[in-house]
Every structure is written in structure tokens, then in C-alpha cells.
Structure 1
């Protein structure tokens, strides 16, 4: 019986391969973007594991799958990126539709909220902040080395907004009914 190995050692010199020819430093901006997208996917998976709502879980699973497709495009060399391109305007519209449908059932607070009213709400808040970082890094990468897909930035922008709606939904529908608000301390 052959033993499977979960490492190659190819990255021991501080580089990693792209989808296509070539390797880049592990601190290359493209790899930073991929890391932030990977963290977004993991945080969404954590949130999905905590929600008791099957519809929400299915929406999140679809997003996770789309993020893997987005990561493949970002991981590709510029000459290969087109063959991995999946995210389009329809994906952005679908995220908007999900946020709109969920927002019908909740109230938007007039103040900042404190994350963590339920475990799932806290996880969606974490996913939102990681997604915002991924979006910032994608903007930076796009400015330095055009990604060629004009839908990636809007996709991440809508995804972070949807995470906020999911946080509110989890709090108001499955939790405390009202989110904990930031109150200014009066001495």
C-alpha cells in the first residue's frame, strides 16, 4: 500500500506555482489575494456550519464554490486566466438578489452593531471583514496587474454586503431579535 503525502516540498524555497508556467514568491500580491479569498471561503464555511437554516447553508455553499472558481482565475497566469473565467455579471446579480430577499425579513439598524449576538451571526461578521480585506487586495492587484475580469471587484463588494445581511438575519430571525448596538459611553 502506497502512502499518500500531503506535501511536495516545492515551496520550501519561498515560491509557489501559478496555473500556467512560472512561480512567484509566496509574498507576491497575487498570493496574498488568494490567501484572503481562501480565508473568506473558510470563514463562510464556519458560518455555514453554525447556521441552522438550510436555505442559508445552501446559499453559502454556492458562494464557496464560486469563490474557488474565482481563486482559479486569480491563480492563473495572465495568458491562462481567460480559460478559468467564470464569475460574471449574473453572479453579481444573484448575490444582490439573495441580499434583497433576506433583507425583506429584517430591519436595518440605525447604529453600528456589535458582532456576535449568535455564533452564526459572529461567523458571518468575521467572513464579511475577511471578504472586505480580499476586496481591498483585489483592487490593489487589479491596479498593478489588470485582472481582466471587471466582475471580480463588484462580486466581492456584494458578497461582503450579503455577509452583513446574513449577520443581521441570523441575529434577528434565529437569535436575539435585535442586534446589540454600539452605544456611546457617557462618563
Structure 2
């Protein structure tokens, strides 16, 4: 049996969906890595969720993020070949946000993360998604990607994660802690 490792990345470069290899510190790999980290954080949050609706939404998001990572990994020359995310994915996010918004009363104050292990993990995932969005914007500004929709997807995803956080906390008997002065 051959080993799982390849040693190909030992010199600080990695393969991607383009010609040759690129530095592991490149904007592209940083962006893909941030989305990968967000996906892992969402997986942890999903594992901690008690509510089946929260679990279903987070699992579907994780599937979308694999599509997103593929697109971010593609060079401008290969981007069309790996074009996967579309407006339907954003529409799905928006539908989920609206459903959850109808199911809870949102407080007007800032929410302090950590009402439950699940809601804290969801909020952590939301902040990682925000970082992934910033990295993807850097890729767009450097003209390494051309698809604005990828940025819109991440932006909408952070809003959805906020709604899932509130929904999960309120539907599992936890109180939400507010940042208002006492």
C-alpha cells in the first residue's frame, strides 16, 4: 500500500486547477484555505446542532462550499470548465434566511456569541466565512477570479449563518445574551 502523503508540497508549493504549481502563500490558496476552514467550522457547528433544520441547512451549505473551493482553485484559463455556483445557490441562501427570519424574533441589540455550544460554533463559522469573503475579494481585485457572484455567495452565507445561530439558540431552549448595557 502506498503512503497517503506525496511530499509534493514540501517545498511550499501546491497544485491547483491551472498550469503548474503555485505558492501555498498565494492569494488563491489563502482564499481556498479560508473557505476550507469555514467548511470545517460549519461541520463542527452542524455536529453540535440539536435542531434538524439547522443541521440540514448547514449540510447543504457545506456541499456548496466544495463547489466554491473548486471555482476559487481554477485559474482564469480554466475557470469556465469549473463554473459551478450560480444564482440558484444564492436564491437558496436567501430563501433559508427568510424562512428562519419568519421563525424567530430578532433582537435589535448585538448578540453575544455562545448561548449554546452550537450557536457559538455557528458564530465562529460566520466570522471565518467573513474572512473567506475578504480573501475572495482580494482575488477578485487582483483579477485572479472574474466571478462577482462568488463574493455575493459568501456575503449572503454570513447572513444565513447569523440567522441559523439565532434559530438554533432559540429553538433549543437557550437564551440569547445581548450586548446592551446593564
Shared fold (TM-score greater than 0.5)? yes
The question of 1:181 aligning with 2:178 is answered yes
> 2: CA distance between counterparts of 1:139 and 1:20?
20
Aligned ranges for residues 93-108 of structure 1 at < 5 Å?
93-108=91-106
- Residue matched to 2:117: 119
Residue in 2 that maps onto 1:157: 155
Secondary structure at the counterpart of residue 77 of structure 1: coil
Query: Residues 81-104 of structure 1: CA distance to partner in whole angstroms, max 9, x if unpaired?
Result: 111111111111110000100111
1:110 offset after TM fit, Å?
1.2
Residue 134 (structure 2) aligns with: 136
Map of 1:17-28 to 2, 5 A cutoff? 17-28=15-26
Q: Aligned in 2, Cα 1:107/1:88: closer, same or farther, shift over 3 Å?
A: same
Aligned to 1:145: 143
Cα pair 2:14 2:22 within 8 Å, conserved: yes
The answer as to 2:61 corresponding to 1:74 is no
SS at match of 1:174: coil
Q: Quote the RMSD (CA, aligned, Å).
A: 1.2
Q: Distance in 2 between matches of 1:155 and 1:174?
A: 28
Distance in 1 (alpha carbons) for counterparts of 2:165 and 2:66 = 22
TM-score (normalizing by structure 1): 0.93
Structure 1 residue 47: Cα displacement: 0.8
1:124-171 Cα shifts (integer Å, max 9, x gaps): 100100000000111111001241222101100110000000111111
Q: d(CA) in 2 for partners of 1:150 and 1:88?
A: 11
Structure 1: runs of 5+ lacking an equivalent: none
The question of whether the paired residues in 2 share the 8 Å contact of 1:48 and 1:61 is answered with yes
Q: Which residue of 1 aligns with 2:39?
A: 41
- CA–CA separation in structure 2 for the residues paired with 1:66 and 1:5: 30
SS at match of 1:138: helix
Match of 2:6 in 1: 8
**Secondary structure in structure 1 of the residue aligned to 2:171:** helix
User: Any unmatched runs of 5+ in structure 2?
Assistant: none
Q: Is the 8 A contact 2:133 2:154 kept in 1?
A: yes
Aligned length in residues: 182
